Structure 1
Amino acid sequence: MIRATSVLRRDVLAGEIVDRIVLDHGDRHRRRMAMRGVGGLSFLLDLPEPTVLDDGDALVLQDGRLVWVEAAPERLLEIRAADDHALKRLIWHIGNRHIPAEIGADAVYIAYDHVLAEMVRGLGGSAEPVERPFRPEGGAYAGEAAGHHHHGHDHHHPHSHDAVPG
């Protein structure tokens, strides 16, 4: 089976695109995985280390051909608030839950979760379901991808990750 061994970022993309893959945000963070393009090309993703693939990147096959990466639409919550301060407060509450989030200029996007939607509404924000590609923030720790993090310290401090502070 032909292998894809490197990634070309969308800003330096050049070459023959022979197929495309459509991946959700979880599947865009991989190192090794059998894949099949929309056009039927089967190949093995075989990167040296786990890598976050962005919408518009390309996987480079051993023979130099390219497979386009497309971010799949996902069911998300679009979270908004009446003003900037209220949105920052909602972001703090979401961050305390340690879930992947995409932060825009006037909205935050998270994976659809009816419990978190009710939490946001209870705090005065809006949480509307939307279908769109999910591009969560990368983490604060080196080499980490969105939604896949390890703190790098003993996690013993006096708060619960399940409780939502009021």
Structure 2
Amino acid sequence: MIRATRIIRRDALSGGEIVDRVVLDHGDRHRRRVAMRGAGGLGFLLDLPEPTVLEDGDALVLQDGRLVWVEAAPERLLEIRAGSDHALKRLIWHIGNRHIAAEIGPDAVWIAHDHVLAEMVRGLGGTAESVERPFRPEGGAYSGDHGHDHPHGGHHHHHAAG
């Protein structure tokens, strides 16, 4: 089975032969090693050195140099809105306090659909509507390279993937 061992991030993608695409939800875009099948039928093994979040628009590089496009699949989400910037910031704080993955836009926040969180948002004066769209949450304070080792002035430790 052909392997994909590298990622070209969407911002660095400039040319190359795109031969297929994989359509993945948020959970399936955090991978290291898994057999995949593209929408066009191409089977391959994703075989990365460490767990990595695949972003919408990235390309997986196959051993022969061909590319497989990564597309974020639509998912059932909650779209959260508030009557003012201050109220939205307050809702974002409550969501963050629960360590919930969130995609933050200028006027709305999207989280995975959860009826308990929807009720919390409504109880705090916001709106929470069910929508279907790709989910592209923020990486988080500790997401960086999703796990890496490096020296810190005389000591060494590992940052776990978060």
- TM-score by structure 1 length? 0.85
User: Structure 2: any 5+ residue segments left out of the alignment?
Assistant: 148-160
Question: Could you tell me how far apart the structure 2 residues matched to 1:15 and 1:144 are?
Answer: 27
Residue segments in structure 1 that go unaligned for 5+ positions in a row: 150-166
Match of 1:5 in 2: 5
Q: State the aligned residue count.
A: 147
Alpha carbons 1:21, 1:37 under 8 Å: kept: yes
CA separation in 1, counterparts of 2:145 and 2:58?
18
Whole-angstrom distance in 1 between the partners of 2:63 and 2:91: 46
**Residues 42-121 of structure 1: matches in 2 within 5 Å?**
42-121=43-122
Q: SS of 1:139's equivalent?
A: coil
Instruction: State the Cα deviation string for residues 52-93 of structure 1 (Å, max 9, x = none).
Output: 111111100000000010000000000000001100110111
2:138, 2:11 → 1: CA distance? 19
The answer as to whether partners of 1:80 and 1:87 remain within 8 angstroms in 2 is yes
In the alignment, is the contact (CA less than 8 A) between 1:21 and 1:70 conserved in 2?
yes
Secondary structure, in 3 states, of the residue corresponding to 1:27?
A: helix
Q: Quote the sequence identity (%).
A: 84
Moved segments of 4+, more than 4 Å: none
Counterpart code for 1:134: F
RMSD after superposition = 1.2
Is the Cα contact below 8 Å between 1:138 and 1:144 reproduced in 2?
no
Counterpart position of 2:145: 143
Quote the Cα distance in structure 2 between the aligned partners of 1:144 and 1:81: 32
More strand by share: 2
CA displacement at 1:9 relative to structure 2: 1.3
Q: CA deviation at 1:139?
A: 1.4
Structure 2 residue identity aligned to 1:2: I
Aligned ranges 1:28-43 → 2 under 5 Å: 28-43=29-44
1:106-144: CA deviations, max 9, x gaps?
101000001110110011000000100000110111433
